[in-house]
Structure 1
């Protein structure tokens, strides 16, 4: 039997992070070609499908991100959904500063955004809208192209501040 922790009231940052880390998420890298012609990228867990008609997705970058302004200014981006073997890649794109693309294999998408080799799926988008989400932005992307890459790998997941994998269901 599971014992429930006492509820925290008022909600503080520590309690919020603890509770929300119980939600298992996939890991994606958002990429774009910035105004200076160089690739920009950031790891995210806050990624979701929003709508089929029109085809929209969202992700939520922190206002403190140094990469988000470069992606926002580009107006176009790609979502690269990572596979279980790409934990080092996620860690590389999660840091601030430096050349996040050093040693990374990628090809340009239809509008130039980097499509990372080995991703489970790639989704190319035009930035449709940006909404306020407290200390984060809510970036809506209108999907312009996408592909699910049929590979034999499992997805990379993040749960309680730890990377893991969820085996694919048998077909």
Structure 2
């Protein structure tokens, strides 16, 4: 049978509505991070809800930001950035960097180094990266970073989460023992 005959019998591809995609994917909790960089014009930063590890060897991470984000474009141009994983009491920092406010760095306690991106004191973790590359991903851009330094907070600093369209905390999960024997594959 010719390929054109097969194509004619395939059902039409249904594309979900953006509101449906947002609703369903909102059930997947994500971390909330502020990605920062130092540029010749000063520090820049943007709140992102799409950040994850990519590879251990080489050590790579990725974050996604809107294609029209001037801050994300400046971060790519700076060639290095810091992912500040917000702690659950840093909601004001999240809001400041999600808006187009003139002095975002007035919110939070920031550490500015001479040759590095700004780091947020009290963050649940921070990861300093060199830009490995960036590429379009629909209405966002994917920015891949090669990890060159990182640290997690000492003591109990839980991350701020985004779930079902709002900021969330891990309060309900604290102190609950979840067996990990089924996740032995993770350590390989």
Alignment of 1:83-98 (within 5 A): 83-98=87-102
Question: 2:17 is matched with which residue: 12, 17, 21?
Answer: 12
Question: 1:53 is matched with which residue: 54, 57, 60?
Answer: 57
Contact 1:35 1:73 in 2 (8 A): no
How many residues were matched structurally? 162
Contact 1:66 1:96 in 2 (8 A): no
Partners of 1:147 and 1:90 lie apart in 2 by 20
Tell me the equivalent position of 1:166.
170
Change (3 A) 1:31 1:76: same
Tell me the equivalent position of 1:107.
111
- Between Structure 1 and Structure 2, the one with more helix by share is 2
CA RMSD of aligned residues (A): 1.7
Partners of 2:23 and 2:59 lie apart in 1 by 32
Partners of 2:92 and 2:52 lie apart in 1 by 22
> In terms of mean alpha carbon deviation, does 107-116 or 139-148 score higher?
107-116
Contact 2:92 2:107 in 1 (8 A): no
Q: Unaligned regions of 5+ residues in structure 1, if any?
A: 1-8
- Provide the TM-score with structure 1 as the length reference: 0.88
Change (3 A) 1:58 1:81: same
Flag the structure with larger Rg.
2
Q: Unaligned regions of 5+ residues in structure 2, if any?
A: 1-13, 178-188
- Provide the TM-score with structure 2 as the length reference: 0.81
Whether 2:15 is the aligned partner of 1:23: answer no
